[in-house]
Amino acid sequence: MSNSEELSDLRNQIKEVTNEIIRLVHNRMEIAKRIGNVKQELSIDVEDEQVENDIKESIIKLAKELGMDLEFSGKLLNILLLESVKVQNRKSDSHKISPHMAVFMKAKEMEKLGQNIFHLEVGEPDYAPPLSVRNELLKIYDDKKYHYTEISGIPRLRNAIAERTGYGTNSEQVLVTPGGRFAVFCAITSLLKPGDELINIEPSWPAYKECADFIGVKIRSLKTSLEDKWIPNVSKLENLVNANTKMIILNYPNNPTGKILPKNILDKIVSMSKDYNLFLLSDEVYSAYSFVDFTSLLEYECSKKITISSFSKTFGMTGFRVGYAISDKEIIRKMSSVQATSITSVAEPMQYCALMALESTIHDNVDLVKSRIDLITKRIRKMRTEFVYPDGAMYVYPKILSDVYKSDMALVKKLLENGVAIAPGSGFGSFYKHFIRISACQPETVLNQGLDIMERILTQG
C-alpha cells in the first residue's frame, strides 16, 4: 500500500470512528432525556454531584488504562455532562419562581396589579449616591463628558482606583467594567475554555454559575454549612481539584451569608491555588461593609489573582453600572479584549460620576446597614429560625425551622401572597432549600412591616 493509499484509508477510518462517536453521543442524549423525564416525575434535582463524580472516576480510570490525556478526556466528559443537564432542564417548569431576581420580577408584576409589596429580597441600597455624584451629573453635559473612552476606563478613574486600592497597584492593572457582574464575566470568559472547571464555594451569588454555564465551563461546588458557621473545609476544597480545574472563586463578605473568611483559611486557599497553578478570583464587592476584620486577596503575592469590586453597593450607585477588576497586566489585557468585543467601554458620564464618588466617605452607609442587620436578627431570633450573625455584607441568611414550610419556595410563595418578597435560599445553591435571604436594604419601617407578616405566617405554621 502506497503512502497516499494508506493516508486515504486512515482518513476513512477517522470518518467512520467520528460517525460512530456522533451516534453514541446521540444515544447518550436520548438516555439523558429519559432520565430527565423520570427525575421530573420524582420531583428531584436535575444535577446530581455524586452520580457525576462516579462517572468522572470511571472515565479517569479508563483514560489512564488507555494512556489518554486526563485533561482532554475530562473536558470531553464535562461537555457531555453539561449538555445532559441542558436537555434535562428543558423538561423543567421554566415559569416557576426560583432565584431572587425571579421573585423580584414576580413582585413587580403584582405591584402593577395594585398589590403593596415589601421588598426584602433585592440587594439594592435605598440610599442615594454621594452629593458629589449628583453635582457631577449636572455638569457632565456642559463639560462634554459624553464620548468614547479607553476600553479599560478613563485614566483618571483607573489612577484613582489604583491609588485607593494600594498594595503597589498601578492603573495598568485596573479594568473599569459596567458593574461587578461584567468583571466576573470577563474574567471567566477570557481565562477559561469549554470543558474547563472552576470551583465555587456555596452558598453563593448565582452569577458565577450563570457565567460558567454560558461558555460551557463546569462548576464544582464546595458546600459550607450553618453548623460549621459557613467556614469552608480546605481539605474538601482541595479534593475537588483535578486536571481540568482552572479557577477558584471566592466571595467574601459572602452573599448571602455575610460570612468573612478567616485569614488562616484564606492563607491555605491562596497557597493551594499556587500549588495547583489556579486562577483565584475574589469578589470583594461587599468589603466596605465588613463588621469584623477583613483580609483582601490584594494583600497576597499571587500572579493569578483577580479582585473584583463595584460602586453599586459601596456608594449606592446600582443604576450607574460601574465596577472594576484588579489583576496582573496580562490578565487585565485578556479581560479587556472581552470588553472591547462586547461593549467597548463603560459610558464616560458614569465613569466621571464614579471618580467623584471615590472622594466621598461611606461610614454612614455602613452604620445604617449594620443597624438594619441588628434589627433583622433581633426580630427573627423570636421566630422559627436559626442563623449565624453576619460578619458583613447586607443580608441575613436564616434557616427556617418549620413543620409546615418544608422548603424555601413554599414559604417564599406564601410570603409573596401576603405582600412580602424574600429571596429563596436555594437560589444560592440547591443544597439550601431550608434557607431564605433577607436583605437589609430597606428602611426600618419597611423591614418591620415585612417581618411582622413573616412572623405571623411562621407562627401560624
The residues, ordered by sequence, that sit 6+ positions from 376 with a Cβ below 8 Å of its Cβ are 396, 438, 440, 447, 451
| Domains 3-89 and 100-127+362-460 belong to one CATH topology | no
Superfamily (CATH H level) for 3-89: Chorismate mutase (1.20.59.10)
Distance CA 256, CA 123 (A): 10
| Residue 47 pLDDT | 87
Stretch (H or E) spanning 280: strand 279-283
Of 129, 121, 54, 52, give the one whose Cα is nearest residue 84: 52
Stretch (H or E) spanning 342: helix 329-342
Domain boundaries of the chain, sorted by first residue: 3-89, 100-127+362-460, 131-357
Estimate to the nearest angstrom the gap between the alpha carbon of 390 and the chain centroid.
Answer: 18
- The CATH number for 100-127+362-460, chosen from 3.90.1150.10, 3.30.420.40, 2.60.60.20, 3.30.420.610, is 3.90.1150.10
CB 393 within 8 A of CB 261: no
> Topology of domain 131-357, per CATH?
Aspartate Aminotransferase; domain 2 (3.40.640)
CB 37 within 8 A of CB 86: no
Angle at 97 between CA 95 and CA 99, to 5 degrees: 120
| Residue 43 pLDDT | 84
DSSP states of 136-191:
HHHHHTTTT--S---TT--HHHHHHHHHHH-TT--GGGEEEESSHHHHHHHHHHHH
Residues of the chain with pLDDT below 50 are: 93-97
Cis before 203 (ω within 30): yes
| Residue 403 pLDDT | 83
